[in-house]
Structure 1
Amino acid sequence: MVPEGERPAPTGEAAVSGERGSRAKEVDTRKRSPDQWVSLLFRFLQLASSVISFVVLLTAGHLDLTFRRYQAFRYLLAGMVITAAWSLLMLLVELLQLAMGRKLRSLIWRGLVYLMDILMALVALSAGAAAAAVTTFNDRGIVLFNYAPCVGPSPYSRFCSRTKASTAFAFITFFFFIPHILLSAISYFIRFFEG
């Protein structure tokens, strides 16, 4: 008889299955890591806001006034397509990591992703800033010619409102990159100093 509270250690098949069970619990814990879920959320928000930005810009236009007439809006479109592609790629990578139950631990990989996130944030910011200058110009007009297509009720109000919305979503995309960059930096430096 074994006294209560003292049980013999499992042997054979029971020991192996117990070991597997603890590994499965470890994998499940990794799958539910909060930083992976937060990262996934920010990637989705980056993707959504950049897609909304370029789709809204593509639908802007009235008569002869389209985004193609303005270089800044063309840059906004290109910048948002690039950030959307990067966000989609990283969203798929992070979903794959979540499905596998682990993260890519390579410092080189993390450093590359961190630098690309910074670059994409700067692309979103610069595209939004360039487009904001043009929307301000369209609101105020040229002083010499007294022409402002977006002042008051005009036939171009649809174009004006959509370009402003697209510009706003470019800045929103930038602001979704910032917390992700900070979290990535913290994670990178923790991993770097752990060894």
Structure 2
Amino acid sequence: MKGILILTVSLLSSLVSCKSSFFDGINRPKLYELLDEEVGDMFITMPDEDVEKLKAAANVGFSVDDNFSNEVSMMELMAAEEPDYNAIFELFKPSAIEDFKTKDASMVFKINGEEQKFSKVTFSIGGNSGSGYAKFGYNIKIRNNKKDLYGCTQFRVRGDPSDPSMIRNKLTTDIVNRMGIPTSYA
């Protein structure tokens, strides 16, 4: 028990010392300084016809090649002495995602009780490598030259599978669980 306590205290103290010196000497936009302590809310508004176009562009999913439409063929490929992984990969490939982009969007950002509004915003589906994920990535650009969001004008919002913070959360939870401290599972 003493060993776990000593390990826990040393781990926590090293995390605190790492956090305090991690960003020393780095000039970050004010937005990221705020987001270190609080979670901001970003609201995007666009015309209804653009919302329908976005839904149509994003609602493509995966297609299965007609030559391998049954599961038996897939199992035969996988059970072969030397599986042809390229053929297996080709069975399930993301359908072509239509490009979606609108310049008719607006954005409201709220953090710490403050609200900032932007009327000229470009909103688009972003990221080719994430096209197979259940959650798409989005690109957001503030087009007002005189106004920015705490030093930032462009944002790339990505779904969980490609988000490094999800990986950090998972690793941290696993480490804490191995130490015998109960946590929710990531």
User: Normalized against structure 1, the TM-score is what?
Assistant: 0.26
**Quick check: which has more Rg, 1 or 2?**
1
User: Normalized against structure 2, the TM-score is what?
Assistant: 0.27
More strand per residue? 2
More helix per residue? 1
